[in-house]
Amino acid sequence: MVETWDMVVVGGGPGGLTAGLYAARMGLKVIVLEAGVCGGRMLNAWRVENYPGFESTTGNELAAKMQNQAAKAGAVLREMTRVEKLKLKGNAKVAVSADGEQFQAPSIILATGACDAELGVPGESEYKGRGVSYCATCDGPLYRGKTVVVVGGGNTAAVDTLFLANIVKKVYLVHRRDQLRAERTYAERLLQTPNVDVVWDTVVTAVLGAQTVTGVQLHNKKSGRKWEQPAQGVFIAVGCRSSSSIVAPAGVKVNEQGDILVDSNRQTNISGIYAVGDVTGEPRQIVRACGDAVVAVLHWLSVKPTTRF
């Protein structure tokens, strides 16, 4: 079965929902295909304090508002619809779902986001779901009253640490540099939190455990000191990698990191195919994904052919 649309958006995070909103408001018949539930990585954000117009909100609240707004504008939102293949030759572009459904349009916007980067150290894979987590808001409550380690130094690591500090007994934030990359507001708040200790210039070399995590092995890069830090949970927040595995086989160009390459209009090397937000690399920010989507939709409207399928 082939469904025909004016535009297909692959991914229902902030970029995808904004693309759906703008396309629908401009009169396009648009569908947003989301592999899980709409919201993307935004759903994991305990606090969002840098999105204009919202002094402080949660990722869930912001995602719900974006989803409702796009739907009210007329965008069709299809959750639990994973796109596994793209057919991008010719004028009719097709996104094929895991169930074999085909969604055809003259333009496709790729808003597939990013997934959590791994440390790649011994024990990490072995203890996933048994003490190793990549989502503090999802798994944090399981460690109430316990000691945990957060790995990273950016906004995600800082926000995760602040969230966990309200739940657990002690948080060790392990960062490989001598200062945080997180925004100053987050960093200052974190450094003033009594049950948070920042372990500077240090990397995790292994995750330790028996049936579940019992700690991490640490190495201070400056002093050379090596030691084991007991902990019952390890939350890894060391960045993301673009979720772009389906694009290269279809002819869309990516860089060595897997980020989709786009021009100033967010168009890829294939006419009518755009990529927005996290899947195009840094900076991975909600507001940037939204802005990308607006640029992409408006550019397509300025160049699109008049023929519909």
The string of pLDDT tens digits covering residues 191-203 is 999 999 999 999 9
Which of the residues 6, 115, 116, 139 is marked catalytic?
Answer: 139
Structural domains in the chain (count): 2
Same domain, 221 and 293: no
Domain that holds residue 205: 132-236
Q: Which of 115, 116, 135, 201 is catalytic?
A: 135
- Residue 124 belongs to some domain of the structure: no
139 in active site: yes
Same domain assignment for residues 248 and 232: no
138 within some domain: yes
Instruction: Check if 197 is active-site.
Output: no
Any domain includes 123: no
Is 276 found in the same domain as 171?
Answer: no
Q: How many CB atoms sit inside 10 A of residue 162's CB? A: 20
Of the three residues 221, 236, 251, the one that is the final residue of a domain is: 236
Instruction: Name residues of the chain where pLDDT drops below 50.
Output: 309
Which residue among 99, 138, 197, 263 is the active-site one?
138
**pLDDT at residue number 306:** 62
240 classed as catalytic: no
Burial code (b: 16+ CB inside 10 Å, e: under 16) for 170-187 equals bbbbbbbeeebebeeebb
Same domain, 207 and 247: no
